[in-house]
Amino acid sequence: MNTLKLIINILEYILAGYLGITVVYNLIYALAGLFTLRNRKATENRLRKIAVLIPGYKEDNVILQTAKVSLQQDYPKEMYEVIVIADSFSAGTLQKLSEMPIRVVEVAFENSTKSKALNKTMYQIPEDYDIAVILDADNLMADDFLTKINEGFNQGFRVIQGHRVAKNTDTSFAILDAISEEINNHIFRKGHRVLGLSSALIGSGMAFEYLFFKNMMADIKAIGGFDKELELKLLRDRQTIGYLENALVYDEKTQKADNFQRQRKRWLSAQFIYFSNYLGSGLKHLFLKGNIDFFDKVLQLAFLPRVLLLGVLFLCSAVSIGANLLSLPFIESNFVTSWLFWTGLFIVTGLTLLLSTPRQFFSYRTLKAISSLPRAFLLMFGSLFKLKGANKKFIHTVHGDHPEAGTTSPNK
């Protein structure tokens, strides 16, 4: 029995340390995100030529609306070009795209990825652009997005992440997805920038110095999570990633459980792969070169996603309370097994998420959507056991499969 108690206590201390660090980390940046983000002062005042790159794989449902809205920017028309990268689009969609004042680049691969599509396209189009803006096929830019991006580059940034917000909140899963994205914006983008670290990238609604991006992407071979690999390499090279809170891009949120599970499976796979690949170099750059920004990104990859974190802390709290109430003989009364400790972590995590959630989501619909959290936890937990091979093949998330998809514009 003593051996069993020792093993349980050791495992519990390890789990407590890991989860405790995760909770404190999120809390620190959530509190930082409450302060005003002050961007750099402008050092230039010029207009840059922008390539708006929109890669899409079988995105016939949404690409026409995205292309149309992309042409409605208040930025000078001659200073930007919309470039749709069409992978496996229907002939009808291609015909309609050809009638718009945009450039269409058709690509085809045995195994399609966003990085392949971007790389092939950038080697076919001219190099006379100053900025590359990357959108997903379902993204709609606010009409001043390119103007805001240009202002950010006038402040001296070479890489900028825009503020991606929900285009739809029509189902419980879409609401949860929208809130999750805003929490990420608050903690990993605004909170980090307030404390002087780089914003996290998110895969779309982001902008780069064009030739710099083209050269960086040439070494990116990722099947999933190309933005994570790109971000890690940028931070390793001490490139600061800016964040523009007022540069909005509207993104379609997942509406259905199966799409949610596919998307999270792809994200979890990328997270684990890049953590294992970069842990050693992250520690090396921290201790030998003092690169906190790079190590901070590697550390993020070690943490549980918030849905899993909430679920695990709830289970730990419930087990601890039950064990103490039942006075199980193999449970010792100490600060780790105490229900106060586990329940405290659960409550702090809940408060962290509340601090990071925009006020417009404080509604009855959100309260109703929260009832889907247990299902979301089970779907993500189940995905942990299905990650094998997830990084070997592109996992496509279907867009435009809800009634409101592709019918609204943020500019109208």
Q: Which domains does the chain have, with CATH numbers?
A: 2-34+275-383 (no CATH), 50-254 (3.90.550.10)
* pLDDT exceeds cutoff 60 at 391: no
- CA dihedral over 176, 178, 179, 181, signed as positive or negative: positive
Who wins on pLDDT, 147 or 266? 147
- Segments in 290-358 forming alpha helices (H): 292-302, 306-326, 339-356
Q: pLDDT-based confidence at 406, cuts 50/70/90?
A: very low
pLDDT of residue 269: 77
Phi-psi region of 387 (alpha: psi -120 to 50; beta: other; left: phi over 0): alpha
Q: Which residue has the higher pLDDT, 385 or 21?
A: 21
The whole-number average pLDDT for the span 178-186 is 95
Output the pTM of the full model.
Answer: 0.88
Q: What is the mean pLDDT of residues 258-285?
A: 82
Biggest alpha carbon distance in the chain? 77
Sign of the four-CA dihedral 21, 22, 25, 26: negative
Retrieve residue 389's tokens. 């091979």
Confidence of residue 250 (pLDDT cuts 50, 70, 90): very high
Q: What is the mean pLDDT of the chain?
A: 88
Per residue, the 3-state secondary structure of 194-227, as one string, reads HCCCCCCCCCCCEEEEHHHHHHHHCCCCCCCCHH
Average pLDDT over residues 349-367: 94
Q: Compute the average pLDDT of residues 218-243.
A: 90
Give me the mean pLDDT over the 203-223 stretch: 92
Kind and range of the H or E element at 166? strand 159-166
Residues 295-311 pLDDT 10s: 999 999 999 888 889 99
Confidence of residue 401 (pLDDT cuts 50, 70, 90): low
Instruction: Name the band, by pLDDT with cuts 50, 70 and 90, for residue 336.
Output: low
